Structure 1
Amino acid sequence: MPSTWTLDAPTAGHAVPAAVVQGLLEVASAPLSAARLLRAIQQVVPVQYLSLVAFQRHTPELIEGSSRDTHGRDVVAECFAIYRRSYFRSDSVMRIADRVAERPAREVAVLHCRADELPVAGWRDDIYVRERLTERFTLLHAPAPGAVQAIHLYRDDRQGFFQPSEIAQLLALAPLLRQAHHASLQVGAVVTDRQAQVAQAERRLSRLAPVLSPRERAVCARIACGLSADGIAGDLDVAPSTVVTLRKRAYLKLAEAGLPAHRLGLARWLV
């Protein structure tokens, strides 16, 4: 039978290596990335594949997958398509997801399932045997009420089965992974909101200040949305000195047209 746990704090007696802490901080400080999350976990336990899944209306949706190796094919997406088409209703993770949806966001549920424990032979043959997978380790949590997400970790026969010590390490890490995952989702939401604000500011500038070039407009829109010169440079993939030059040109044109030509004025005018 698959093993399950419910945790709300790191397991006592298991120190988290500094490299893992650094990796989780990188996960937490940027929009959600399966590859970044996989790299952090690899510091503790070897894992071949990682998939990020959300549960929408009792149906799993693949957010993103990542592999330890570079393949010519997307194994995670291929396997998820088979799973979604034929087998997810037989997965005990669906029942756990329903339960997690009703629990406080700080909790994380964990499911460990070996290939030979899968309840449907076709599921085992079509995915696990085909891709030589040995087992799955799943962490589920609800970053918002009713919104459940899962981190699935897969081993293959090159890595063998999770050893008891490795399972203990993953259980100790699970609450920290949840925190990093949750934080990265929040960062992604902020970035998405900022992108929408920038797009709106650019549209208004295009209409109200047609004298600006497209690059000057892009810089002014981001100034209005609170980005620094370095932040704008990173966003537009240009040098900070280029941003400063474009800003000077744009401010001169705006001032000549009697329009706001400073950060606060742009913010009030456009956002």
Structure 2
Amino acid sequence: MRSSHLESRQKSGPVVRILDLFPNSSQRATPGGPIINRGRQPTPANPFAFNGFLDLVSAIGTSRMPEKLLTVLQDVCGADHCAVFEQRADHLIQHDSAGFDGGNRILEMGITYVEEQYWRGDPVYQQLLHSPQAQAAVVSRINTEALEDQKLRTLYSQINAERFVISGLQSGSVYGLHVLRERSRESISDLEISSLSGIGSSLISILAKHIEVLGQRQRIGRVWQLSEIELLINQQPSDLSLRERSVCARIIYGMSSAGIALDLGIGEESVKTYRKRAYQRLGIGSSYELGKWFTTLQGIAMVE
């Protein structure tokens, strides 16, 4: 009965808002929501009582967050991949991403999604731009086959998966946690979706704090000159080419793509190509993660 109800909602458009799939049931989604087959279940008084919560809290501000986050999502709904985005003002930032297959498909998709501005045609972000949710997190289920944007359909065909976005507003930014489950497995159930909805606000709060803490750590560091950044990057072994190192150094320094192109005497498209290659080699997907990588280099240099 519930499955047919969900299917009828899917036909109404590519984005399905799921707030409460159990309006007349004892399994009604509370602020904490039900957790499938688990002894610890959130309650309105304790919405953070879900398996993996303490692990997530301990991972705030560390490189362990993507792994811990994906473990929680796997436990709740069998997720295979996840990625975290932040919509700040009129641009989108990709933060952490992870996948159980050990590949970087979700990372590469995220880079394209942001750099090629595909997100502007995504119905999830279109709705968020016009009516951001100020109170609770919202779970959106995406019917990729119904997307009008051909580029988006092609992008998502790289991973044949069900796609959900948990979104919420924190400190002026809209955070989007993209959750993917490959279609080779059975379709995600209503109860699993309700569980995602139940822990959505908690996850968004934790991720916002994680990103805030990392940002604070980067800001309190001393101001580095471009020559110092280049020297430190060149001193550390990596697979980056010399041009990729130069582009990365200037991104860390805070230069725009146009500014980097002018400084290096190359085209702006070439800058984007070098940046994309560098991110792929480093296993990252954003300037934010590049900053974290450079912070790690600083720590290595101090030990040496």
Corresponding residue for 1:128? 156
Amino acid at match of 2:168: H
Q: Cα offset for 1:193? A: 3.7
Contact 2:170–2:205 at 8 Å: present in 1 too?
no
Quick one: which amino acid aligns to residue 56 of structure 2?
Answer: L
Partner of 1:80: 110
Contact 1:138-1:153 within 8 A present in 2 as well: yes
Aligned residue runs from structure 1 range 78-117, under 5 A: 78-84=108-114, 85=116, 87-99=118-130, 101=132, 104=134, 106-117=135-146
Greater mean deviation of Cα atoms: 27-36 or 107-116 = 27-36
Q: Which whole-Å CA distance do the structure 1 matches of 2:19 and 2:222 have between them?
A: 37
Q: Deviations over 1:14-50 (max 9, x none)?
A: 5146532223323446478333321222222211111
Deviation at 1:100, TM superposition (A): 5.6
Deviations 1:217-248 (A, max 9, x none): xxxxxxxxxxxxxxxxxx968xxxxx9xxxxx
Q: Give the Cα separation in 2 of the matches to 1:158 and 1:60.
A: 30
Q: Which runs of 5+ in 2 are unaligned?
A: 1-12, 21-29, 36-40, 43-48, 225-297
| Deviations 1:106-140, CA, capped at 9 Å, x for gaps | 5323211133232334422x23333222x211112
Name the residue aligned to 2:216. Answer: 190
Q: How has the CA–CA distance of structure 1 residues 89 and 185 changed in structure 2, closer, same or farther, with 3 Å as cutoff? A: closer
Q: What is residue 204 of structure 2 aligned with on the other side?
A: 178
Residues in 2 aligned to 1:5 and 1:31: alpha-carbon distance in whole angstroms: 31
Aligned to 2:255: none
Given that residues 31 and 184 in structure 1 are in contact (C-alpha distance below 8 angstroms), is that contact kept between their aligned partners in structure 2? no
Measure the CA separation in 2 of the matches of 1:162 and 1:33: 24
Which one of 18, 37, 48 corresponds to residue 69 of structure 2? Answer: 37
**What is the percent sequence identity of the aligned residues?**
15
Aligned CA distance change for structure 1 residues 236 and 82 (closer, same or farther; 3 Å)? closer
Name the SS for the 1:44 alignment partner. Answer: helix
Q: Of 20, 45, 65, which residue of structure 1 is paired with 2:97?
A: 65
Q: Give the Cα separation in 2 of the matches to 1:11 and 1:141.
A: 15
Distance 2:202 2:34 in 1: 15
Give, in whole Å, the separation in 2 of the partners of 1:168 and 1:161: 14
CA contact (8 A) 1:20 1:41 kept: no
Indicate the SS of the match to 1:19: coil
Give how far 1:98 is off. Answer: 1.7
Given that 1:48 and 1:69 are in contact with CA atoms closer than 8 Å, whether structure 2 keeps it comes out as: yes
Distance 2:97 2:146 in 1: 23
State the partner residue of 2:52.
Answer: 20
How many residues are matched? 197
Q: Secondary structure of the residue that 1:161 maps to in structure 2?
A: coil
The one-letter code matched in structure 1 to 2:198 is: A
In structure 1, stretches of 5+ residues that fail to align are 200-234, 238-242, 244-271
Q: Is the 2:169–2:175 contact (alpha carbons within 8 Å) kept by the matching residues of 1?
A: yes
TM-score by length of 1: 0.60
| Structure 2 residue 42 is matched with structure 1 residue 10 | no
Q: 2:167 aligns with which of 119, 140, 144?
A: 140
Q: Secondary structure in 1 aligned to 2:78?
A: coil
The Cα shift of 1:172 comes to 1.0
In the TM superposition, residue 151 of structure 1 has moved relative to its aligned partner by 0.8
Query: Equivalent residue of 2:210, what SS?
Result: helix
